[in-house]
């Protein structure tokens, strides 16, 4: 009885409201419906436990690693603000941890950001990518790997020099998005696509705005997976993606193996351009072009 | 003294409770027609309580043999079913028809191989079972516990090529097995028992519950549903959910797959991500389906992905 009362107290004091199935988290934010009705067997007593757990995990003060991560990835002696208007749209409970889609929408004041870094705290590879844009970007998306339950944070450097950080807690049904093979060749036939195959799609959004989706066929080996002989498959991943169109460069993206294999990147721009193209470099130095290269790049 | 005994019994009861329940299937066959039985699965997602027994299993008893429809999720499940069948009839279990390769229908195969039952399965689905079986076995074990999958193996078995439709005689009982290629799966088998006019359709039809479509060709599937509605049958056994006697109940499956397919096609044409659709909440009409949310979340991204970069 007392236990329930305490939980209720905690709920009231932390200002939690029950929200829609895909609601977003900031540090100490709201409880989504998913979290309260866990569909996977992992937490079949959903309740306040997983809620409190996620709120605690999202609070950077409770994290053993956040301050070090912040120093390493964002820089020392910087101004950081945890905010709730950077929305991380992703599922709360994830069944396939090798490929987790994620969209980050930015508030208007951050459309002209200087740098964007996606951080997965509990991953062996904590940084998924960083994006340095040449134009304003309204939202971006990607597919990431999750090794285990983890806070996922989008750090956005505003033009005032402050890092704004939006966070979301993600739970995985079975851990190992970075350290187990997505396809296990010892028990199944694995098909691999041609490395470096590129697909680019441009869509019109409302009022002349544009959405760009890129897909690059690449294994994105993390270096944590072993092969049939027990040997570690060395890391091998896409390192840089340069995106441009007929009006010039759009963004330089630095990527890491915390992106899933065959990574997909999504960029929402306020204005539609013509003929988007990309130039990709991977960690073995191979280069791929979505266009005929005549050494101009 | 009596009081102490009761306490002792209670203590014993609670201590033994987990070991009694953890690997136990509570299976009750329903006789839908003379010598035609159905064991209804738990119309739910696979979880720790149901041990994966979520799909329906059927068996038909002839004068000289028995045919089973679907192997269930594991060796243990198949063993329980075989035990039940033996308590009804001592005749040999001659055939096992596996309607398609999904784990909840096929992972009991290894148990039937031990009693020399002939396995009838579409060739494409037998291949998928071998190709993806171990991976999903591993995922399921980590989800609900390895103890549910004790002895469950993904065995290759002697595959006999068939000309569909296949006609079988169980002894004064004629069975027709038809193949529906690239519909709900790469090859769904449906089984018709002529004497009772009963049709076992596997996962081409879902009762009450949201149909799952990870390997589906929805265009074909819709046509197959029309064919199934037109067919002559009195009783229809879906892969999941209750026994169907009313033809209109089949339309429920068609309505869902039409809707999810349309949603996915529109999304992929406009570059909309599944996440953004989820963010708007569940569409109203799908709420009447059981497991609507889980299925919607699982299948919509797969379908969008399939259409998007094709």
Asked whether the predicted pLDDT for residue B19 surpasses 90, the reply is: no
Q: Cis omega (within 30 of 0) on the bond before A240? A: no
DSSP H helices in chain B: 2-21, 75-88, 103-106, 109-114, 123-144, 218-230, 251-270, 274-279, 292-308
Q: What is the four-CA torsion angle of A223, A228, A230, A235, rounded to 10 degrees?
A: -10
Average pLDDT over residues B38-64: 94
Asked whether the predicted pLDDT for residue A234 surpasses 60, the reply is: yes
User: CB-hemisphere CA count at 13 Å for B292?
Assistant: 19
- Range B165-176 burial, b when 16+ CB lie within 10 A, else e: ebebebeebebe
Place of tokens 């071998």: B130
Phi, psi of A287, deg, nearest 5: -120, 140
Quick count: other Cβ atoms within 10 Å of Cβ A14?
A: 14
Smallest Cβ–Cβ distance between B309 and the set A90, A173, A199 belongs to A199
Q: What is the DSSP letter of A207?
A: G
Q: What is the DSSP letter of B23?
A: T
Return the pLDDT at B231. 96
Smallest Cβ–Cβ distance between A101 and the set B47, B274, B281 belongs to B274
Please give the residue that has the higher pLDDT: either B163 or A191: B163
The whole-angstrom distance between A199's CA and the closest CA on chain B is 7
Q: Report the residue of B130, B277, B278, B300 to disrupt the A interface, i.e. the one with the largest count of A CBs within 10 Å.
A: B278
Nearest to A101 by CA among A268, A263, A267, A230: A263
Nearest chain A residue to B298 by CA distance is A95
Asked whether the predicted pLDDT for residue A239 surpasses 60, the reply is: yes
**How long, in residues, is chain B?**
310
Q: Which of A14-18, B155-159, B167-171, B269-273 has the highest mean pLDDT?
A: B167-171
Domain boundaries, chain B: 26-252
The encoded tokens of residue B261 equal 């397919």
ipTM for the whole complex: 0.71
How would residue B161 be classed by pLDDT, with cut points 50, 70 and 90? Answer: confident
How would residue A110 be classed by pLDDT, with cut points 50, 70 and 90? Answer: very high
Q: Which domains does chain A have, with CATH numbers?
A: 65-182+189-289 (2.60.40.2470)
Return the pLDDT at B50. 93
Return the pLDDT at A23. 31
The encoded tokens of residue A42 equal 């992992």
Residues 178-217 of A with CB under 8 A from B: 183-184, 187-189, 199, 201-203, 205, 211, 213, 215
How would residue A207 be classed by pLDDT, with cut points 50, 70 and 90? Answer: confident
**How long, in residues, is chain A?**
297
Average pLDDT over residues B178-195: 96
Q: Report the residue of A40, A209, A228 to disrupt the B interface, i.e. the one with the largest count of B CBs within 10 Å.
A: A40
Average pLDDT over residues B231-245: 96
Each residue's pLDDT tens digit, A112-160: 999 999 999 999 999 999 999 999 999 999 999 999 888 999 999 999 9
| Gap between the Cα atoms of A43 and A49, Å rounded | 9
| Gap between the Cα atoms of A297 and B234, Å rounded | 70
| Gap between the Cα atoms of A126 and A256, Å rounded | 9
Mean of all residue pLDDT scores within chain A: 81
Give the DSSP letter string of B125-142: HHHHHHHHHHHHHHHHHH
| Gap between the Cα atoms of B147 and B144, Å rounded | 9
Return the pLDDT at A94. 82
Q: Cβ contact (<8 Å) for B308 and A44? A: no
Asked whether the predicted pLDDT for residue B150 surpasses 80, the reply is: yes
Q: What is the DSSP letter of B84?
A: H
Determine the Cα angle at B299 with ends B256 and B46, to 5°: 95
Quick count: other Cβ atoms within 10 Å of Cβ A248?
A: 9
Determine the Cα angle at B250 with ends B249 and B251, to 5°: 90
Return the pLDDT at A6. 54
Alpha-carbon separation of residue B9 from B1, B12, B18 (angstroms): 12, 5, 15
> What topology is assigned to B26-252 in CATH?
Metallo-beta-lactamase; Chain A (3.60.15)
Quick count: other Cβ atoms within 10 Å of Cβ B2?
A: 6
Least reliable range by pLDDT among A43-47, A192-196, B172-176: A43-47
**Residue A268 near residue A211, CB atoms below 8 Å:** yes
Q: Cβ contact (<8 Å) for A41 and B144? A: yes
Check CB contact of A49 with chain B, cutoff 8 Å: no
Mean of all residue pLDDT scores within chain B: 90
**Residue B45 near residue B294, CB atoms below 8 Å:** yes
Each residue's pLDDT tens digit, A52-85: 777 777 888 888 889 999 999 999 999 999 998 9
| Gap between the Cα atoms of A146 and A170, Å rounded | 9
Helix (H, G, I), strand (E, B) or coil at A170: strand
Please give the residue that has the higher pLDDT: either A177 or A86: A86
Return the pLDDT at B210. 93
The DSSP bridge partners found for residue A282 are A238
Place of tokens 């498959």: A233
Each residue's pLDDT tens digit, A13-41: 443 333 333 333 333 333 343 333 333 33
Each residue's pLDDT tens digit, B252-295: 999 999 999 999 999 999 999 998 898 888 888 888 899 888 88
Return the pLDDT at A34. 39
How would residue A269 be classed by pLDDT, with cut points 50, 70 and 90? Answer: very high
Asked whether the predicted pLDDT for residue A45 surpasses 70, the reply is: no
| Gap between the Cα atoms of A54 and A27, Å rounded | 9
């Amino acid at each position: 009885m007392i236990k329930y009362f305490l939980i209720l107290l905690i709920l009231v004091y932390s200002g939690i409201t029950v929200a829609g199935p895909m609601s977003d988290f900031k540090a100490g934010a709201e409880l989504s419906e998913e979290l309260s009705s866990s569909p996977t067997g992992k937490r079949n007593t959903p309740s306040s436990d997983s809620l409190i757990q996620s709120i605690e995990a999202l609070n950077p003060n409770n994290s053993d690693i956040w301050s070090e991560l912040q120093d390493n990835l964002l820089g020392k002696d910087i101004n950081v603000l945890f905010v709730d208007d950077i929305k991380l749209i992703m599922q709360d409970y994830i069944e396939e941890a090798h490929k987790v889609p994620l969209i980050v929408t930015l508030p208007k004041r951050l459309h002209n950001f200087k740098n964007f870094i996606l951080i997965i705290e509990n991953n062996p590879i904590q940084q998924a990518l960083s994006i340095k844009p040449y134009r304003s970007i309204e939202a971006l998306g990607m597919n990431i790997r999750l090794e285990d339950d983890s806070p996922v944070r989008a750090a956005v450097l505003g033009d005032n020099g402050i890092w704004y950080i939006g966070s979301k807690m993600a739970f995985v049904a079975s851990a190992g998005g970075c350290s187990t093979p997505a396809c296990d060749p010892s028990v199944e036939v694995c098909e691999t696509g041609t490395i470096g195959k590129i697909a680019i799609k441009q869509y019109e959004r409302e009022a002349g705005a544009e959405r760009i989706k890129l897909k690059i066929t690449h294994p994105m080996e993390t270096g944590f997976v072993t092969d049939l002989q027990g040997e570690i498959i060395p890391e091998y991943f896409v390192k840089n993606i340069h995106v441009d169109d007929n009006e010039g460069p759009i963004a330089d993206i630095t990527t890491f193996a915390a992106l899933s294999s065959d990574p997909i990147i999504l960029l929402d721009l306020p204005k539609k351009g013509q003929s988007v193209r990309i130039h990709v470099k991977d960690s073995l130095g191979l280069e791929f072009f979505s266009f005929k290269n005549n050494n101009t790049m | 003294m009596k009081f102490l005994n009761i306490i002792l019994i209670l203590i014993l009861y609670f201590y033994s409770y987990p070991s009694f329940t953890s690997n136990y299937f509570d299976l009750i066959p329903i006789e839908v027609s003379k010598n035609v039985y159905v064991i209804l699965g738990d119309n739910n997602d696979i979880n720790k309580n149901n041990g994966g027994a979520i799909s329906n299993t059927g068996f038909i008893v002839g004068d000289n043999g028995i045919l089973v429809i679907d192997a269930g999720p594991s060796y243990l499940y198949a063993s329980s079913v075989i035990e039940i069948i033996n308590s009804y009839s001592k005749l040999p279990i001659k055939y096992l028809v596996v309607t398609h390769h999904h784990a909840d229908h096929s992972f009991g195969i290894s148990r039937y191989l031990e009693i020399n039952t002939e396995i009838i399965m579409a060739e494409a689905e037998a291949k998928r079972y071998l190709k993806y079986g171990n991976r999903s076995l591993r995922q399921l074990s980590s989800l609900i516990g390895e103890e549910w999958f004790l002895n469950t193996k993904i065995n290759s078995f002697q595959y006999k090529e068939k000309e569909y439709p296949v006609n079988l005689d169980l002894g004064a009982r004629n069975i027709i097995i038809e193949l529906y290629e690239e519909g709900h799966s790469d090859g769904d088998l449906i089984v018709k028992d002529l004497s009772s006019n009963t049709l076992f359709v596997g996962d081409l039809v879902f009762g009450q519950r949201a149909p799952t479509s990870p390997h589906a060709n929805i265009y074909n599937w819709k046509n197959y549903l029309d064919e199934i509605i037109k067919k002559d049958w009195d009783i229809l056994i879906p892969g999941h959910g209750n026994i169907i006697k009313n033809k209109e109940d089949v339309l429920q499956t068609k309505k869902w797959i039409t809707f999810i397919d349309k949603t996915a096609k529109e999304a992929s044409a406009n570059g909309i991500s599944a996440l953004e659709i989820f963010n708007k909440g569940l569409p109203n009409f799908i709420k009447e389906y059981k497991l609507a949310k889980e299925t919607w979340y699982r299948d919509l991204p797969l379908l969008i992905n399939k259409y998007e970069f094709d």
